[in-house]
Every structure is written in structure tokens, then in C-alpha cells.
Amino acid sequence: MSSGVPRSAKDLLPVLIFLVTLAYPFLVYLNIDSVEPGWFGAALLVMAVFRLVVTGKNRQLSDWLITAVIALFCSLIIILESDILLKCYPVMMNIAMGLVFLSSLQDKQNLIERFAAAGGKQPPEEARGYLQKLCIAWGILLLLNGAVAAWTVWFASLAVWTLYNGLISYLLIGGFVVIELVYRNYYKKKHNIVDE
């Protein structure tokens, strides 16, 4: 049963969110002196609500929690017109996502397993231990990334903040993805795990 949102919009949403997230530090860098922080907060809030709407009936508790945290954070940016809070958005997103990964370990399926199931693949039972450790690794990586992002907010220049949050952090995450994919193939061969 369709949730009422065209399938193409659901497919494009992750790409759109990734592109906006990628561009965010550069948009702040280029416009922080000419655009009030409240406008950034409003745009981020609209994007978070749109994401929740497009998720439709597949919403998980984590979707509601992330949207609530973003809504509160964006409301504070709008009300306080704070440049500091504006720069804290990557901090908040990294820490929130890191906590979501770690808290999902208490669920029947952790976040990695849910991603696999959403992609149409049911992970084999013998891969469960590996996926648990991978979920922990993602959680720790995102929390550490959030900590470094926080350092750039308080102790670095706007240019360094933009460079780290707009480029270096993505290169680090991309590097982690590549290393994990290589190790995953090795792990599957070593343990004779075949995808279903």
C-alpha cells in the first residue's frame, strides 16, 4: 500500500539530504555574514519535517526521535539567532546519529540490519555478530566525529570549521566505508558467509 508520496521522491530523498548536508558548511561559510541564522534554522527544520513525511508508514521510533531533536535544535537557532548554534548543527547530527546506532543494539534488529533489510537483503544469522560490531564501530566513529566538529566550533576559525565539516569529516567517513567493504569481503570468505 502506497503512503501517498511518489516512489521517486522517496528514492531521491537520501540523495537530496546528503547533498544539502554536504553543502551546509559551505553555505554557512559563504552566507554567515549576510543571512540571519534563523533562516538557516528554518530551512533545516523544513528539511527534517519533509524527511519524516516522505518516510511514510515506514517510520521507526528513531525517525521520530531524530526529527524531534532536529526540530528542537532548529527552533533554538531561530529563536536565539545564534551563529554558534548554526555551527553546532554538524555536531548535533553526528552525536545524534552515533547514539541512534548504539541505542539500536538494544532492538531486535540493529540499524545496520535494518538498512540491509530495507535494501531487500536479509543478513544471514552467522553475520549477526559482525553486524553488531559494525554498528558499534559506526556509533563510535560518529561520536568521535562529533567531538572533533565541536572542537572546530569553539577553538578553530570559520575556515577550519568549514574545511573539517564540509570535507575532511566526509573523507574520513568515506575511508571508513571503503575499509569496511574490503574487510567485509575478507570476513565473508573466511567464515563462508553467503548472502541470501
In the prediction, which pLDDT does 21 show?
74
Helix (H, G, I), strand (E, B) or coil at 195: coil
In the prediction, which pLDDT does 77 show?
92
In the prediction, which pLDDT does 1 show?
45
In the prediction, which pLDDT does 13 show?
62
In the prediction, which pLDDT does 58 show?
65
The string of pLDDT tens digits covering residues 29-66 is: 888 888 899 998 898 888 888 777 776 666 667 677 77
In the prediction, which pLDDT does 142 show?
96
- The predicted model scores a pTM of 0.80
- Could you please report the per-residue DSSP string of 70-136? HHHHHHHHHHHT-HHHHHTHHHHHHHHHHHHHHHGGGSSS-HHHHHHHHTT----GGGHHHHHHHHH
Low-confidence residues of the chain: pLDDT under 70: 1-14, 18, 55-60, 62, 195-196
Residue type, 75: S
